[in-house]
Amino acid sequence: MKHITIDDIAKEAGVSKATVSRVLSRPNLVKEQTREQILSVIQKYSYIPNVFAQALAGLPTKNIGFVVDEFPNNFYIDLADGIDGIITARKYTLQVMSSLWDPERELQGIRSMIINRAAGVLLAPSSPDCEAVDLLKRSKIPFVLLNCRTGDPDISCVSCDNYQGGALMAEYVKKLAFEQMVILPVADHQTVLDRIAGFEDHINIKAVKPILSSSAKTYQDGYRIAQFIAETYHLAEKKTCMFVANDYVAVGVIAKLLELGIAIPSQVAVAGFDDIRISAMCRIPLTTVSQSVCDMGRIAAEILLDRIMQNKTAPVKHLIEPRLVIRESA
Amino acid sequence: MKHITIDDIAKEAGVSKATVSRVLSRPNLVKEQTREQILSVIQKYSYIPNVFAQALAGLPTKNIGFVVDEFPNNFYIDLADGIDGIITARKYTLQVMSSLWDPERELQGIRSMIINRAAGVLLAPSSPDCEAVDLLKRSKIPFVLLNCRTGDPDISCVSCDNYQGGALMAEYVKKLAFEQMVILPVADHQTVLDRIAGFEDHINIKAVKPILSSSAKTYQDGYRIAQFIAETYHLAEKKTCMFVANDYVAVGVIAKLLELGIAIPSQVAVAGFDDIRISAMCRIPLTTVSQSVCDMGRIAAEILLDRIMQNKTAPVKHLIEPRLVIRESA
DNA sequence: CTGTTAGCGCATTCAC
DNA sequence: GTGAATGCGCTAACAG
């Protein structure tokens, strides 16, 4: 099944391929009559230009790259959903790649996007100043960072106002009655640090006991670490309030706490962050902070597309408003 | 930042570009000494061939297309995860597209893959004989269908043995004590039909009351429909066992049932299918059938890659063994 | 073993 | 308005 080319169309229509090309790119440069005629031939053979030839001839591609940490990450899913909506509506195509939290793979992903001459790149970076971002800057390909905040004035980025989200939760939680406050960070990510900073700045209670440098990332991690926390902080005796900086971990913590016979929220109140799908459906529906990740994807995609089409040339930094979601766990 | 080309390398190395090209594709055709020398120049400039030029010159691309219904679908996530692992290990790239359950969009997605000359395509089709599959066949691009079973001997496909899974659940469930059996189908998908067929063929109990043509697909749908079911089948009075053909819906059903004050599993036992992430973490951990979707993605990707590289030319149909997972809900 | 040549399919000057 | 010519970067014969 040989693909038909612009030459075939030109021959059939009795014109030169230059004219056919014009009909496709700048139709108004062609006399209406011949244009209509060529168009009909194109229709007849359902001719579609070869993207590689176009790209080689200098046209920008229509695919945008997207690099995330890992697919099973709830975050990615909603992000992809939002991005997809915007992207495909404008006939762009999405190329995805996972870094699996490995900076080397992350870098490799960006390289792949550059090699494939992506028109633009969306990246949820491991850190705002990782090598991948650096490479991206040098490549001159338009890009926007997701779930990340940076001071670099040349970089567009969109993220939730995590600090504000932490503050929101603190304001809510400090009205609750409890004897001690435990903060469980998750990973070392900027977003997490911001959440906790916002929380600590507004909780203004001396009894705060942050557990430092936890590397809990998943449900399983939360489940595992909960036992340790319960013992160390005597959760069974002291009424406590716990702020877990990410829902996925929080759900695991809750599961274990329940197993240990600790009542939630009466004995231990648990507050999360993210409002992932599970949060509303788990054992004890989670009180958390929502950051409409889907919007984040949508907005980032829009910013990127604007930059690609040169509509807007100035980098934009967008902060998404967090929203407190009160359910049963706290 | 002008990209350097094969000519630059050739010039710098004092050879013709044909030789450079050979070093990259069939190094053993080049004398070791010159090869080393050229390689060092390539290193020095970190030269990477332009994929478009390569494609235009006839080389197959290194990207494979993946069309799913929608990103938020739990199924997609695990699939993508499995596929990604195989694909990127072999330096292939993944291009994704969502159909949003719309056959027209599905078709458009496949068109996009064809236009971009995907080396191969993975498709979780709305139906085994939808237009998209047809187009794919005509395009001569290697492809394999996911989560789908077809009699067409030319088509490779991999799916769970849904019939067997249904049977498995039936065998387990029929040992339980209950007065009536209710089956809740979800959507009209082939996989669902298979599950129910397997279940019905092995439950051999007259009191089976299948609810016909339910279009429940999501948690919300399950939540909504549960009320109706509870009333219609007097769940509060009659001990019943319920088979919901998909976990996402089942979790919703359970949530509503609990709200209605119906005890699970003592009053109503609920069995699901899929074993999605939420199943283990929801209100009442779900008894369900697991089909290791990640493996499904992995296997499909492997089959596809084999076909692309011509290692295996015969279409293969792979059935994944389902596994009963007994938790609390039944 | 290596260089020369001829496309691959298209966009784009530049003439007419 | 339209056509002829050139180049995009690379691969694959075909010679030498």
Task: Locate the chain B residue with the closest alpha carbon to A73.
Answer: B77
List the alpha helices (DSSP H) in chain B: 6-13, 17-25, 32-45, 51-56, 74-89, 103-115, 131-139, 162-173, 190-203, 219-232, 247-259, 293-308
pLDDT at B1: 55
Distance A26 CA to D8 C1' (A): 21
- Provide, as residue numbers in chain A, all residues whose Cβ is less than 8 Å from the Cβ of B48: 115
CATH architecture for the domain at A52-160+295-321? 3-Layer(aba) Sandwich (3.40)
Asked if A93 and B116 come within 8 Å (Cβ–Cβ), the reply is yes
A92/A215: higher pLDDT: A92
Interface membership of B292 toward A (CB under 8 Å):
no
Report the protein residue whose CA lies nearest the C1' of nucleotide C3: B16
pLDDT classification of A74: cutoffs 50, 70, 90: confident
pLDDT classification of A178: cutoffs 50, 70, 90: confident
- Provide, as residue numbers in chain B, all residues whose Cβ is less than 8 Å from the Cβ of A252: 281
Interface membership of A282 toward B (CB under 8 Å):
yes
Query: Which residue ranges make up each domain of chain A?
Result: 1-47, 52-160+295-321, 162-292
Distance B60 CA to D6 C1' (A): 27
pLDDT at A310: 81
Percent of chain A with pLDDT over 70: 97
By C-alpha distance, which of B16, B53, B67, B291 is closest to B160?
Answer: B291
- Provide, as residue numbers in chain B, all residues whose Cβ is less than 8 Å from the Cβ of A226: none
pLDDT at B82: 96
CB atoms within 10 A of CB A52: 20
Contact criterion met (CB below 8 Å) for A125 and B129: no
Q: Is the pLDDT of residue B74 over 90?
A: no
Chain C positions with a protein C-beta closer than 7 Å: 1-5, 7-13
Asked if A282 and B277 come within 8 Å (Cβ–Cβ), the reply is no
Q: Is the pLDDT of residue A164 over 60?
A: yes
pLDDT at B139: 92
Q: Nearest by CB to B219, which of A84, A252, A281?
A: A281
Minimum mean pLDDT among A104-113, A290-299, B199-208: which range? B199-208
Alpha carbon distance, N-terminus to C-terminus of chain B:
63
pLDDT at B241: 94
Task: Tell me the mean pLDDT in the region B250-272.
Answer: 94
Q: Is the pLDDT of residue A24 over 90?
A: yes
Asked if B1 and A140 come within 8 Å (Cβ–Cβ), the reply is yes
- Provide, as residue numbers in chain A, all residues whose Cβ is less than 8 Å from the Cβ of B281: 219, 251-252, 255, 278, 281-283
CB atoms within 10 A of CB A261: 9
- Provide, as residue numbers in chain B, all residues whose Cβ is less than 8 Å from the Cβ of A94: 95-97
A203/A213: higher pLDDT: A203
pLDDT at B206: 67
Distance A16 CA to C16 C1' (A): 14
* pLDDT tens per residue, range B45-62: 999 999 999 999 999 999
pLDDT at B212: 60
Minimum mean pLDDT among A214-218, B34-38, B297-301: which range? A214-218
CA distance A329 to B281: 15
pLDDT at B165: 97
Q: Which residues contact B87 (CB under 8 A, 6 or more apart)?
A: B64, B93, B94, B301, B305
Cis peptide before A265 (omega within 30 of 0): yes
pLDDT classification of A211: cutoffs 50, 70, 90: confident
B208/B159: higher pLDDT: B159
CATH class of A162-292: alpha beta
Q: Which stretch, A120-124, A221-225, A233-237, A274-278, has highest mean pLDDT?
A: A120-124
Q: Is the pLDDT of residue B100 over 90?
A: yes
pLDDT at A120: 97
pLDDT at B62: 95
pLDDT classification of A207: cutoffs 50, 70, 90: low
A21/B278: higher pLDDT: A21
B283/B234: higher pLDDT: B234
Contact criterion met (CB below 8 Å) for A149 and A190: yes
* pLDDT tens per residue, range A77-86: 899 999 999 9
By C-alpha distance, which of A272, A63, A266 is closest to B117?
Answer: A63
Burial of B20 (0-12, 13-18, 19+ CB in 10 A): buried
pTM summary value: 0.91
> How does B78-105 read in b/e, with b if 16+ C-beta sit within 10 Å?
bbbbbbbbbbbeeebbbbbbbbbeeeeb
Interface membership of B115 toward A (CB under 8 Å):
yes
The CA distance from A159 to the nearest CA of chain B, in Å, is 20
By C-alpha distance, which of B181, B258, B245 is closest to B217?
Answer: B245
Task: Tell me the mean pLDDT in the region B106-128.
Answer: 95
Average pLDDT over chain B reads 92
pLDDT classification of B115: cutoffs 50, 70, 90: very high
CA angle B250, B256, B261 (to 5 degrees): 125
CA distance B72 to A141: 29
B212/B267: higher pLDDT: B267
Q: Is the pLDDT of residue A324 over 70?
A: yes
Helix H or strand E segment including A114: helix A103-115
Which of B93, B105, B277 to mutate against chain A (most A CBs within 10 Å)?
B93
pLDDT at B313: 77
Task: Locate the chain B residue with the closest alpha carbon to A254.
Answer: B281
* pLDDT tens per residue, range A250-271: 999 999 999 999 999 999 999 9
pLDDT classification of B67: cutoffs 50, 70, 90: very high
SS3 assignment, position B73: coil
Please state the CATH superfamily assignment of the domain spanning residues A1-47 in this structure.
lambda repressor-like DNA-binding domains (1.10.260.40)
Asked if B93 and A97 come within 8 Å (Cβ–Cβ), the reply is yes
Confirm whether B1-47 and B52-160+295-321 share one CATH topology. Answer: no
pLDDT at B213: 57
pLDDT at B317: 96
pLDDT at B177: 81
* pLDDT tens per residue, range A51-73: 999 999 999 999 999 999 989 88
Which of A52, A87, A97, A264 to mutate against chain B (most B CBs within 10 Å)?
A52
* pLDDT tens per residue, range B210-232: 676 567 888 889 999 999 999 98
Classify the phi-psi angles of B51: left when phi > 0, otherwise alpha if psi is within -120 to 50, otherwise beta.
Answer: alpha
pLDDT at A188: 83
Cβ contact A56 with chain C strand, < 7 A: yes
